[in-house]
Amino acid sequence: MTEAEAQTQGFSERDVVHAAAGRELRKRYTAADLAVFTCDEARRFVPRGDGDPQNSVVLAWELLYRLEPELYDRLASVERLHPDVVRWLPCDLDRIAEVGAGTGRLTMELVARGQHVVAVEPALPLRRILRRKLAAAEHGDRVRVVRGFFDQLPLPDDFADLVVACSAFTPSSGHGGDAGLAEMERACRPGGCVAIIWPNHLDWLTARGYRYVSFPGPMFVEFGSYREAVELAEIFYPTAVGEVRRGGERRVPFEVLGINPPRDVAFKVLAG
């Protein structure tokens, strides 16, 4: 999706901003890179077989996860969640399932809220980083990292007390959609909670019975250094590079970068 497509096709404000921000990201990859996808991935991400990451920021992100996973991890590590988002999630749970776990921005927090966590993640390079982090934190025995997709979760019915996705679910069929939401609800036990953290299409979710909570307060992207702020802004927030340079700080408000902060949750408590 390009910026113009996002603007004309009724995508959310965040999509438009991401499409603008994605200009530099799109330049990093070509159609030849799509060969990195497995068959299951290609079926979801390039269903007609003719995708081009130079024109699609969504595809460029998927290639980033597979071709430059450490770069993606650096970004996710500095875009931290509002602490109240994690505190708001139910705790003392038996089983938690997270879908689209990535390199574990949320997963590492879930360990404190449930006995057993299953982290579902399609991209092998991200699963590797997540496993490495879990082992380093000695959580390897509490979290099972598995391959899977929103629309085909490798989980039994009524499996978890909490089924959650963070910055991963969208209404598009390749990244969730109605089939993906139905799968998350299928894997959640009656009385359990399905939560979409940092939702990008709230109206779509509220039309499906989801409620919403958002936590206030200033939020910053916490780069490791001013140098890293400039380096990552050049790739991920190109429209904000000038302001990042002028600020001269390693902490940059989300607003300056032009993205809404990860401070909100759409959720549904399933009938008991």
Chain positions contacting ligand SAM, by CB under 6 A: 44, 65, 76, 99-102, 105-106, 121-123, 126, 149-150, 166-168, 174-175
Complex with ligand SAM: residue 74 or 95, whichever CB lies closer? 74
Residue nearest to ligand SAM (CB): 102
For residue 58 the two structure tokens come to 């969504």
Find the length of the chain.
Answer: 272
Residue type, 8: T
**Least CB distance from residue 245 to ligand SAM, whole Å?**
26
Nearest distance from residue 148's CB to ligand SAM, in Å? 7
Eight-state DSSP code of residue 161? E
- Which of 62, 54, 82, 185 lies closest to 125, judged by CA? 62
For residue 5, the minimal CB distance to ligand SAM (Å) is 19
Smallest gap from residue 218 Cβ to ligand SAM (A): 20
The DSSP symbol for 262 reads S
CB of 175 to ligand SAM, least distance (A): 5
Looking at beta carbons only, is 25 or 93 nearer to ligand SAM? 25
Give the separation between CA 28 and CA 52, rounded to whole angstroms: 12
* 86/241 with CB nearer ligand SAM: 86
Our CB check for ligand SAM shows the closer of 128 and 243 to be 128
Nearer to ligand SAM, 139 or 245 (CB): 139
Q: What is the DSSP letter of 177?
A: H
Q: Which is nearer to ligand SAM, 56 or 248 (CB)?
A: 56
Structure tokens at 65: 């996860």
CB of 153 to ligand SAM, least distance (A): 9
Residue with tokens 């909490």: 162
Q: Hey, what are 211's tokens?
A: 């409620």
Strands, E assignment, 72-218? 93-99, 114-120, 143-146, 160-166, 188-197, 211-214
In this structure, are strands 114-120 and 143-146 parallel, antiparallel, or unpaired? parallel
